[in-house]
Amino acid sequence: MSVLVQTADAPADRFDPVEILDGGSTACRATIGGKAWSVNRMRALGLPVPPAFAVVTAECDRYYASDRTLAEDVWSHVVAGVRHLEEVTGRRLGDPAHPLLVSVRSGAAVSMPGMMDTVLNLGMTAQVEAGLAAETGDAAYAADTHRRFRELYRSVVLGDEADAPIPVDPWEQLRAAVCAVFDSWESPRARTYRRHHGISGLNGTAVTVQAMVFGNMDDRSGTGVLFSRNPMTGEKPAWGEWLARGQGEDVVSGRCTPQPLEALARLLPDVHAELLSASATLERTHGDLQDIEFTVESGRLWLLQSRSAKRSAAAAVRVAVEMVDEGLIDPATAVRRVSADQARALLRPELAGTDDSGSDLVARGEPACPGLVSGVVVTDPEEAEDRADAGEQVVLARVTTSPDDLHGMIAAAAIITEHGGSTSHAAVVSREIGTPCVVGCGAGTVTALAGRTVTVDGSTGQVWLGVREVRDVEESGLADLLRLVEWARPLTPLAVYRTAEFRSEHDGGAGIVDLDEAGEEWRSALVEGRGAQGAILETDEGVAEALRAGAAFVVVPFLLPALLAAVHAHEAAGAQ
Amino acid sequence: MPESPSNEFAVLRVVAVKGRAPAAAVAVAECLGLSVEEVDQRFTDLVDRGLAKSTPGGLRVVGPGRERVAELVAAESAQVDRAAVAALYERFCELNDELKEIVTAWQLTDADTPNDHTDEAYDAAVVARLSALHDRARPVVAAVADLAPRLAPYSARLDSADRRIAAGDHSYVTKPIIDSYHTVWFELHEDLIGLAGLTRADEAAAGRGA
C-alpha cells in the first residue's frame, strides 16, 4: 500500500515562510499541518483561539537544502510572528512583568512516530518564573511550570545532548525548537515510518507556535472541558466541567476535582453564554458532537481545541439520529457515525431484572472489558490457574494486578480489582485477552467475595451474587436502531435478514450455507451459496468477507451490526 | 561458570515478575542480555534449590523462591540512594499516566468501541504518541540503570519494542506474554516499586500503581 499525500491545493510558493493563523490564511493542511489548519479554521469562524502562527512545510525543505540552517529571512518572519502574538496578548517574550509563553509543535499533513512532540511554556527563564509567580500569586505554580518546561525542552529539543544547557534567551530557545522540529522530520524513526507506510510526496513538517494562556491568573480565571451534548447519553444540552483557577493539565490529570459547568455560569455568565454559543457553532460546522477544551484568563474565553468527542455506544446512536432530525447531517452520515461494535454493545444480553437494584449487587466498579460471566471467586492467581485447569469457571479477584498475575488472568473467566481505572494494567490486559473485567470496585471487595459465586457484568461494571439469568435484547424494540437499519439498507448491496424472521422463500433461501458447519473452511464455503448464516457473520470480518465473496444476503440475530459492518466494509473497499 | 549472584537475582526476578519463564530460556536470555547457556544453567539451579519448579507452562517460582526474591529486592532497595529513586519514580509516574492513556487509546477509540485497527490514520497517531513518549522516557530509564545496574536491560527492551512497532509490528504495543512495550513498561514499574521500597497495593490505593 502506498499513500501519496496531496502536497498543496495551491502552489506552496504562494505562501510566505510564516502564515499568521488569524482566520485569514488560505493555506491547506499540507502547507501548515493539521493543528495549524484547525486553529486558523476556528479563527475564521470568529471563535476566540489563542493567537498562533505556522512556519510552512516548504521551509522544512529549504532547511535541508541549506544544510540544516534556518535562513535569516525565515527567522525574521518568525520574529514578526511572535510580535503578532505579543500584540494580541499584550505580553512580551522574555518580559518578566508580562511574559509571553508559547507552545511549539510539529505538524505534517499526517502524524507519524519520531516527529518532535510539543514543547510547552517556551519563553520561560528564571526572571520570567519570578514574574509569573508575582502575576499569579502562586510561586509553586510558576516553579512547576518552569520545571515542566525544562524537562520537555531537554528531552524534546536537546534530545541526545540532554546535558547541554537550556538557553537563557527565549529567542534562542525558540530558534532551537523550530530547528528541532525540522530535524525530527529526518529522524531515523520518522524515515522508517514513512518508508514502511509508503508515504511520499510531502515537503516536510510545519511548525506551529501558539501563545499559552493562563487559567490560574486570578479569581476570574480557570479551565475546563465542554461537550456539545452529554457524551454518556447523547442528550442535550451541552455538558461540561470547570475548574476555577486551574491550568489545563489539572483537569486532564485528574489531580483536582472539577465542578459542573453551572459553577462557571454563576461566576462568569457572559463567558458561559459565549462558550455555549461557540459550542453550537463548532457542532454545526463539524456536524458532530464536539469535545472542546477551553481556558478563561481574567474573564476572557479562549478555546484551545475542538475535536469530535469520544462517546458511549448509546450516545453515538442517539446523536446520529437526532442530528438527522435537526437537519445537521444526512442519514448516510449518521450511518457512518455508528460502528458495528457500538451497535453490538447496545444489543448485548442484559441481566434479567437488573432494575430491581436489590441486595444481590455485591460490588460495583468501572467497566473495563465487556461480557457477562459467572464463576467462583478466587483471590490467588496460581489457584485460579489450577482450578481453571481442573475445569472450574473462576473469577479472579485482586486488590490490583501485578505482571506476575498474567497467567491467572488468562485462566480466569472474569477479573475484578479493588483499585485502578479503565487504563489500569488489569483493564489493558483484560481487553487484550477478551476477558470480562470490572476494575476499581473499592477496598475490601476481594475479602468480601472470596469463595462466593458471582456474576460479573463487564459492560456495566456490576458484580452480582450468584448465577444471574441473562435476557436477550429485542432489536425491534429500539426505535433509534430501527431508523439506522432503514438508513443503512440502501448503502450496501448485501441484504440482511434477522434469524427469527428469515423464511426459505426469502431471497432464494434455498441457496443458504451454514458457515458454522464449515468451521475453519468458512471462507471457501461462502462462495458456494447465494447467502449465508453462522456466528462468524456477527463479526466485522465475517460480513466483509461475505461482501467480498459476492453473497446476496446474510442471516444474523441482529440487523444493525451486520448492516453497519457491510456499509463500512463496502465504503472502505470503494475508497481503495 | 563463575558464580555471579547478581545474575542469579536477575534471572530469578524476571521469572518471578513474569509469573512464568517463557517456554525457552532464550527469551529470558534476551531480556537480560545473558547467554542461553547461562540462563539454562540458572533455571536448573533454581529448580535444584527448590526456588522454582518446572510446569508444562514453563518455569514457575514457588514459595521459597518468592521469599528469596523479596529478600533480594529489599537488599537492593536498601543499597540505593532513596531520595534519587523517589525522584525518578515520580518522573516515571508522570510518564506512566500518559502511557496508560496511550495504550488505552490503542485498544479503544472511545469508551465503548474497541479499536478494530482499520483506521490507519488513527493507529498512526497513537503510535506517534507512544514513540514521542518513548523519547522522553529514555533518559529516565537510563537514569534507573545508573542507580540499579540490574535494571539496565530495560532500556534495550523498550528500545526493541519501540523499533518493532516503528517497523510495523503492532503486536508490540500491548500484547501480553510477548515483550510488548506495555509488558516491559509494566515490569519496569514493578521493579521501580520494589526499588523504592513500596508495595504494589499501596501504590494502587494511592492511584499510581494499578
pLDDT of residue A17: 93
Amino acid at residue number A14: R
CB contact under 8 A, B112 and A432: no
CB contact under 8 A, B128 and A112: yes
Residue of A nearest to B159 (CA): A189
Quick check: B127 and B148 in contact, CB under 8 A? no
The third-level CATH classification (topology) of the domain covering B5-73 is: Arc Repressor Mutant, subunit A (1.10.10)
Which residues of chain A neighbour B121 with C-beta distances below 8 Å?
A: 110-111
d(CA A270, CA A276) in angstroms, rounded, equals: 10
Tell if the CB–CB gap between B186 and A425 is shorter than 8 Å. Answer: yes
In chain A, the domains with their CATH numbers are 3-211 (3.30.1490.20), 222-308 (3.30.470.20), 350-471 (3.50.30.10), 477-575 (no CATH)
Inter-chain CB proximity B209 and A400 less than 8 Å: yes
ipTM attached to this prediction: 0.86
Determine whether the interchain pair B176/A432 forms a contact, defined as Cβ–Cβ distance below 8 Å. yes
A261 or B112, higher pLDDT: A261
pLDDT band with cut points at 50, 70 and 90 for residue B125: confident
| Other beta carbons within 10 Å of A444 | 11
CA A133, A138, A144, A150: dihedral to nearest 10 degrees? -10
B208 in reach of chain A (CB within 8 A) = no
The pLDDT value given to residue A1: 37
Taking one residue from A and the other from B, the number of pairs with CB-CB distance under 8 angstroms is 156
**Portion 22-51 of B in contact with A at CB < 8 A:** none
In B142-161, the residues whose Cβ lies within 8 Å of chain A are none
3-state secondary structure of A33: helix
State yes or no: pLDDT of B209 exceeds 80. Answer: no
Q: Which stretch of DSSP H or E encloses residue A414?
A: strand A414-417
Q: What does the pLDDT read at residue A10?
A: 46
pLDDT (0 to 100) of residue A279:
96
Using an 8 Å CB-CB cutoff, list chain A residues near B110: 310-312, 316
- Residue type at B4 in one-letter notation: S
The x, y and z cell numbers of residue A182, run together, are: 525540522
As a whole-number percent, the residues of chain B with pLDDT over 70 amount to 93
pLDDT at position A507 is 63
pTM of the model: 0.68
Question: What's the pLDDT at A160?
Answer: 65
Within B49-181, strands assigned E span: 52-55, 58-61, 108-110, 113-114
Which chain A residues contact residue B117 at CB under 8 A? Answer: none
Are A417 and A379 spatial neighbours (Cβ–Cβ below 8 Å)?
no
Apex CA A457: angle with CA A451 and CA A462, to 5°?
Answer: 80
| Chain A CB contacts of B112 below 8 Å | 311-313, 316, 341-342, 345
Contacts of A197 in chain B (CB under 8 A): 120, 124, 168
Q: What is the mean pLDDT of each run of 10 residues along chain A (576 residues)?
A: 43 75 90 88 94 94 93 95 95 94 87 74 96 88 87 82 84 95 86 77 89 88 92 90 77 63 94 96 93 92 88 91 96 94 86 61 90 94 91 94 90 93 89 92 92 92 88 86 96 92 69 85 86 90 92 93 94 73
Phi, psi of A397 (to 5 degrees): -115, 125
Please write down the long-range contacts of A465-468, taking CB distance under 8 Å and 24 or more positions apart: A465/A360, A465/A361, A465/A362, A466/A360, A466/A374, A467/A374, A468/A351, A468/A352, A468/A360, A468/A374
Residue reference for cell 489450577 = A386
- List the grid coordinates of A60: 522544512
Nearest to residue A490, comparing CAs of A321, A332, A319?
Answer: A332
pLDDT computed for residue A276 by the predictor? 96
